[in-house]
């Protein structure tokens, strides 16, 4: 059959490129790993630093409000005698501090009798940039019972309230910095509140979060599908700052756990409530993210930055991909250069191949090409020349070897025929043979095998045995022949299985230079009453098929041919009419299927358990052979397959 030509130079080139590709892949993988992890480390440090910066900026915003409120208190104190001047001072304070959404004073009850029981002047910015002045204290707006007022008049210094929606004053979600107001004599007259808009605070914090250009493209939040963002939690876990306005003061951190297994998310919230700082990974709104968090001093609040994991690993992957692309371009350039060099180097091989084709056709005198350089190719040419000289001699020797191998095959076939002829294969005709149904079968794994079975009747007793010689092939078959001959000889002079086993063992030990051993089982069945005496030498226990299917109780003893003068134990049993014995070698239970699973004693017991009164000994063995062949499913036979079945009628 003509085969498609494959260029050596091309295969050589491919192999070189494959080796280079493997090396470069390993190298590039390390570079990719280092670049990715290095970038991740930088970005983690970056966001940790960003959290500190944002935290400081936020505290700075709070500090500005605190400072302006403190300054305004002094101005208000100068004009406490005139409520109109107090309002003017509030307007002046608001103009000087545009970052404040509004400010006001809640005076103690009836402080200005003509202003009524509730007097709470408040100034705030309108959308057109003007200032709105109003008095919001009333019976319906009883500020005396509100947190900001009560905490404000009770505090010695300033107090930041929990965020709330101010529907009467600023009309926005705010948090207030409250200070007690005292007159010149130090008497408490009210509480001053300076309000900061949470939406303004959110906008400023998000701006600060992404104002750094240290990482170029990757610092642009629009680059990512899910950009990083900052948030602030109150003492109760409510959102004070969040990019989603719908969550501010309307939602709680623990409302977004995202599943029973998101324990890290819950731990983050708990640690933020406890004023701790750390970096953890959790699913935030269904996205696996890093959460950087730290407490905000003097407020009881906690700030965090949520960064999707992909935003941190993505830049590292991109950097690694760029490196891989550059390495790929280098590999392509190397491929082109190496291909050109290989083609020039391997060109003489084409001429040598043409000459070799003629030599392969039997033209041993075909001239070989002359080569310019003395290198490996020249050595190959010299090897072909030497091959031409020796090839004729080799062919002659091959013919002789083939003839010898054919002769050995014929001899092995003759040996197989002789071995199989030594096994009992004729029906028993001796007196008492009608009491039993006996059948044996041996299938060697090689041309000749190392298993044995034998039986004969003498004095109304059935003598039988089965054995397995260690090893396979011709040596095992010779030991098998010797063992079988010894059994026949000794059993004709004794009806004691233990004595027969002992004498066979001593004879084998005296001549066992090859250190081979035989597992052996000898049984003598009294055909008149079913009494069975037997002796085992390291062989598999026979299977007794009666009212139950089970292994015969045997003492293992030691295999013959190992230790001389071993005292073998003899045992007895009784076979009831209709019961059977199945003797086998380990080639049955150790038969392997393509998955290297063993047939095993369990499957063997299951197979023979299907036998009933209508089954003969041959039927029992045939069923086992069929099940073993079905189990091995065409796998090569690795050991001799030998069985002997005896049915006592």
Q: Does residue 223 or residue 527 have the better pLDDT?
A: 527
Neighbour tally for 312: CB within 10 Å: 23
Confidence of residue 644 (pLDDT cuts 50, 70, 90): very high
Q: Does residue 469 or residue 346 have the better pLDDT?
A: 469
Residue 100's Cβ-count burial label (10 Å; 0-12, 13-18, 19+) is: buried
Question: Average of pLDDT values for 151-165?
Answer: 81
- Cross-strand partners of 104: 122, 193
Confidence of residue 372 (pLDDT cuts 50, 70, 90): confident
User: Quick one: which of 506, 521, 636, 495 has its CA closest to 585?
Assistant: 521
Q: Does residue 129 or residue 375 have the better pLDDT?
A: 129
Confidence of residue 212 (pLDDT cuts 50, 70, 90): very low
- DSSP code of residue 456: E
Tens digits of residue pLDDT in 450-469: 788 999 999 999 999 999 98
Instruction: Compute the distance between CA of residue 393 and CA of residue 387 in angstroms, rounded to an integer.
Output: 10
Tell me the C-alpha to C-alpha distance, in Å, between residue 314 and each of 132, 293, 322, 342, 344.
50, 22, 12, 41, 45
Q: Does residue 160 or residue 506 have the better pLDDT?
A: 506
User: 3-state SS of 465-522?
Assistant: EEEEECCCHHHHHHHHHHHHHHHHHHHCCCCCHHHHHHHHHHHHHHCCCCCCCEEEEE
Judge whether residue 1 has pLDDT over 50.
Answer: no
Q: φ, ψ for residue 267 (rounded to 5)?
A: -65, -40
Tens digits of residue pLDDT in 499-524: 999 999 999 888 777 778 999 999 99
Judge whether residue 422 has pLDDT over 90.
Answer: no
Domain extents for the chain?
203-310, 423-648
pTM of the model: 0.42
Tens digits of residue pLDDT in 73-94: 888 888 888 888 888 888 888 8
Residues in the chain: 649
Percentage of residues of the chain with pLDDT beyond 90: 22
Tens digits of residue pLDDT in 114-155: 888 999 999 888 888 888 888 888 888 888 888 888 888 888
Judge whether residue 392 has pLDDT over 70.
Answer: no
Output the CA torsion 625→631→635→640 (10° steps): -30
| Candidate from 67-76, 106-115, 205-214, 539-548 with smallest mean pLDDT | 205-214
- Asked whether the beta carbons of 381 and 372 are under 8 A apart, the reply is no
Instruction: Compute the distance between CA of residue 593 and CA of residue 588 in angstroms, rounded to an integer.
Output: 12
Give SS3 for 317: helix
Judge whether residue 377 has pLDDT over 60.
Answer: yes
Confidence of residue 55 (pLDDT cuts 50, 70, 90): confident
Residue 504: its pLDDT value, please? 93
Encoded tokens for 528: 């008149």
Query: Of 40-44, 121-125, 226-230, 244-248, which has the strongest mean pLDDT?
Result: 121-125
- Cross-strand partners of 411: none
| Candidate from 49-63, 189-203, 383-397, 420-434 with smallest mean pLDDT | 383-397
Mean pLDDT for all residues in the chain: 81
| Candidate from 109-123, 291-305, 400-414, 556-570 with smallest mean pLDDT | 400-414
- Asked whether the beta carbons of 257 and 265 are under 8 A apart, the reply is yes
Q: Does residue 399 or residue 292 have the better pLDDT?
A: 292
Residue 558: its pLDDT value, please? 93
Residue 428: its pLDDT value, please? 78
Fold for domain 423-648?
Answer: Phosphatase 2c; domain 1 (3.60.40)
Q: CB neighbours of 527 closer than 8 A, spacing ≥ 6?
A: 432, 435, 436, 457, 460, 461, 462
C-alpha 348 chain-centroid distance: 51
Residue 569: its pLDDT value, please? 93
Judge whether residue 217 has pLDDT over 60.
Answer: no
Fold for domain 203-310?
Answer: Beta-Lactamase (3.30.450)
Instruction: Compute the distance between CA of residue 181 and CA of residue 162 in angstroms, rounded to an integer.
Output: 20
Judge whether residue 640 has pLDDT over 70.
Answer: yes
Encoded tokens for 492: 């004709």
How many angstroms separate the most distant Cα atoms in the chain? 145
Residue 260: its pLDDT value, please? 64
Confidence of residue 214 (pLDDT cuts 50, 70, 90): very low
- Asked whether the beta carbons of 558 and 502 are under 8 A apart, the reply is no
- Cross-strand partners of 374: none
Question: Which residue reads 């060697």 in tokens?
Answer: 444
Confidence of residue 414 (pLDDT cuts 50, 70, 90): low
Q: Does residue 565 or residue 310 have the better pLDDT?
A: 565
Confidence of residue 388 (pLDDT cuts 50, 70, 90): low
- Cross-strand partners of 437: 647
Q: What is the CA radius of gyration of the chain?
A: 51
| Candidate from 211-215, 269-273, 453-457, 618-622 with smallest mean pLDDT | 211-215
Residue 566: its pLDDT value, please? 93
Q: DSSP readout, 245-268?
A: GGGTTT-BGGGG--STT-HHHHHH
Confidence of residue 259 (pLDDT cuts 50, 70, 90): low
Tell me whether domains 203-310 and 423-648 share a fold.
no
Tell me the C-alpha to C-alpha distance, in Å, between residue 542 and each of 253, 265, 496, 553, 605.
75, 67, 19, 8, 11
Residue 215: its pLDDT value, please? 42
């Amino acid at each position: 059959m003509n085969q498609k030509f494959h260029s050596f130079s091309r295969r050589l080139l491919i192999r070189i490129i494959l080796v280079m590709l493997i090396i470069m892949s390993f190298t590039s993988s390390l570079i990719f790993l280092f670049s990715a992890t290095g970038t991740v480390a930088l970005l983690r440090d970056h966001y940790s630093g960003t959290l500190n910066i944002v935290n400081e900026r936020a505290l700075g915003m709070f500090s500005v409000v605190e400072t302006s409120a403190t300054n305004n208190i002094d101005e208000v104190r100068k004009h406490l005698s005139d409520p109109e001047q107090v309002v003017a001072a509030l307007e002046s304070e608001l103009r000087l501090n545009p970052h404040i959404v509004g400010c006001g004073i809640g005076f103690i009850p009836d402080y200005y009798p003509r202003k009524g029981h509730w007097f709470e002047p408040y100034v705030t910015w309108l959308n057109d940039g003007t200032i709105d002045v109003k008095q919001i204290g009333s019976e319906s707006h009883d500020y005396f019972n509100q947190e900001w007022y009560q905490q404000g008049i009770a505090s010695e210094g300033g107090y930041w309230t929990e965020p709330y929606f101010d529907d009467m004053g600023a009309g926005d979600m705010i948090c207030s910095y409250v200070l007690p107001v005292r007159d010149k004599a130090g008497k408490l007259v009210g509480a001053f509140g300076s309000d900061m808009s949470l939406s303004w605070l959110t906008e400023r914090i998000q701006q600060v979060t992404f104002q750094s250009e240290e990482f170029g493209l990757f610092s642009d939040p629009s680059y990512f599908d899910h950009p990083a963002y900052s948030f602030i939690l109150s003492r109760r876990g409510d959102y004070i700052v969040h990019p989603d306005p719908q969550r501010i003061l309307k939602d709680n951190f623990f409302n977004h756990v995202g599943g029973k297994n998101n324990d890290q998310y819950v731990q983050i919230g708990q640690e933020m409530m406890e004023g701790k700082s750390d970096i953890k990974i959790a699913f935030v709104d269904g996205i696996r993210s890093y959460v950087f968090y730290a407490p905000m001093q003097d407020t009881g609040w906690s700030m965090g930055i949520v960064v999707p994991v992909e935003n941190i690993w993505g830049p590292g992957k991109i950097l690694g991909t760029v490196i891989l692309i550059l390495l790929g371009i280098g590999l392509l350039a190397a491929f082109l250069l190496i291909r050109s060099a290989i083609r020039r180097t391997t060109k003489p091989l084409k001429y040598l191949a043409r000459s070799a084709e003629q030599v392969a056709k039997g033209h041993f005198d075909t001239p070989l090409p002359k080569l310019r350089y003395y290198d490996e190719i020249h050595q190959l040419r010299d090897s072909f020349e030497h091959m031409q000289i020796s090839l004729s001699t080799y062919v002659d020797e091959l013919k002789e070897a083939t003839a010898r191998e054919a002769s050995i095959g014929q001899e092995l076939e003759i040996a197989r025929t002789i071995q199989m002829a030594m096994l009992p294969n004729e029906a028993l005709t001796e007196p008492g043979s009608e009491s039993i149904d006996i059948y044996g079968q041996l299938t060697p794994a090689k041309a000749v095998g190392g298993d044995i079975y034998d039986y004969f009747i003498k004095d109304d007793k059935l003598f039988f045995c089965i054995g397995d010689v260690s090893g396979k092939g011709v040596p095992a078959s010779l030991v098998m022949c010797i063992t079988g001959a010894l059994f026949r000889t000794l059993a004709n002079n004794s009806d004691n299985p233990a004595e027969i086993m002992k004498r066979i063992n001593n004879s084998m030990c005296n001549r066992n230079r090859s250190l081979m051993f035989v597992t052996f089982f000898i049984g003598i069945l009294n055909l008149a009453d079913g009494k069975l005496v037997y002796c085992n030498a390291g062989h598999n226990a026979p299977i007794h098929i009666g009212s139950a299917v089970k292994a015969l109780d045997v003492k293992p003893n030691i295999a013959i041919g190992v230790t001389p003068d071993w005292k073998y134990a003899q045992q007895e049993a009784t076979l009831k009419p209709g019961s059977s014995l199945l003797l086998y070698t380990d080639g049955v239970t150790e038969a392997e299927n393509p998955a290297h699973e063993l047939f095993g004693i369990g499957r063997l017991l299951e197979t023979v358990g299907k036998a009933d009164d209508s089954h003969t000994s041959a039927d029992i063995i045939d069923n086992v052979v069929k099940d073993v062949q079905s189990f091995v499913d065409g796998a090569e036979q690795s050991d001799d397959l030998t069985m002997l079945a005896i049915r006592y009628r």
